[in-house]
Amino acid sequence: MLRTLNNVVRTLLIHAAMPPPYWAEALSTVVFLTNRQPSSSKNNGIPYHLLHHKMPDYSILRIFGCLCYPNLSATTHHKLSPRSTACVFLGYPHSQKGYQCLDLSNRKIIISRHVIFDETHFLFAASKPRPDSLDFLIQDILSAPAPSTLAGHTPLLEDTSDPIGLDPAILWYGAAYRLPQGMADENKALIDNDTWRLVPRSPRANVNTGKWVFKHKYHADGSLARHKARWVVRGFSQQYGIDYDETFSPIVKPATIRVVLTIAASRSWPIHQLDVKTTFHHGHLNETVYCQQQPGFIDPAAPDHVCLLQKSLYGLK
């Protein structure tokens, strides 16, 4: 079965001329299709039918990696905004109806139930060919200058062994420098806010992974103000029905901001701009959600423990 899945994943990527980093989306699509075709191990029964006691809808099936145009009417900001954009079809979402579409202009995933497909064209095939191997990235890291040759950075660790299984690139970067991008400030703020508590890892626990996201903050004149770091959880690693049931996004809408500014302008109210250093989702979590410890801030007394979240983090569903 594993060899079959791997062969089909390879076929989907090659047919759509897509690079290897999209193997996860291809594998998800293969599993989706496999569950909807007869299985010899089930007396030619269809797994989806055996599980849900109804036949699957084959009319929704589309060619992986093809050109598609999702409906963007709900996300447009004004009347003249485009109602769609050229995307790459990346398969089917797990917990909702619709299609996953990749916007190559900003690398964002758009989930929509209203999509027009052009199954004869593939955007990746029309773009510049990608390398088959990413080993050149490792070579670039290994050939980078030694920490002592870079000004403005203080060595943090001398031991570059990998006792906790970190990615070599992350380990080298974190071990060589005391990072100036606000990682320590972000970690301290999360700890002070009691965002999580460390607990032993349960064998059956779904531990979500995370990553550091870096951003440059600029002054009004365009000069660099500071480096900003944010610890973000990979919400796609959550499992529906286990560590989340429904999703929502507590984000202010641009229309609300425009209304506030319009009222302030009409009444000649002063307007002040604030630069928020760190924000928190203060609502306490009712669900049991686990997250890995932050790379670079592993507790040496409990390196195998995981974070039991008390409050929400960016990226969670």
* Buried/exposed 272-290: b ≥16 CB within 10 Å, e otherwise: eeeeeeeeeeeeebeeebb
Q: Shortest CA distance to 27 belongs to which of 44, 48, 5?
A: 5
pLDDT digits (tens, 9 = 90+) for 253-287: 889 889 999 999 999 999 988 877 666 655 678 78
Round the average pLDDT of the chain to a whole number and report it: 79
pLDDT digits (tens, 9 = 90+) for 301-315: 999 999 999 888 888
CA 81 vs. chain centroid, Å, equals: 26
Residue 126 has what pLDDT?
Answer: 76
Largest CA-CA distance found in the chain, in angstroms, rounded: 76
Using a cut of 0.75, tell me whether the model's pTM lies above it: no
Q: Is the CB of residue 126 less than 8 Å from the CB of residue 67?
A: no
Based on the number of CB atoms within 10 Å of its own CB, is 165 exposed (0-12), middle (13-18) or buried (19 or more)?
A: exposed
For 199, half-sphere exposure in the C-beta direction (CA atoms, 13 angstrom radius) is 15
Q: Is the CB of residue 208 less than 8 Å from the CB of residue 289?
A: yes
Mean pLDDT of 285-302: 88
Residue 283 has what pLDDT?
Answer: 65
Mean pLDDT of 11-27: 91
φ, ψ at 60 (rounded to 5°): -85, -10
For the packed helices 23-34 and 2-15, what is the interaxial angle rounded to 10 degrees?
120
Q: Which residue has the higher pLDDT, 278 or 299?
A: 299
Q: Token digits for 231? A: 């610890």
Residue 277 has what pLDDT?
Answer: 64
Which residues touch 157 (CB under 8 Å, ≥6 apart)?
Answer: 174, 175, 176
Question: Is 90 exceeded by the pLDDT of residue 115?
Answer: yes
Q: What percent of the chain has pLDDT over 70?
A: 79
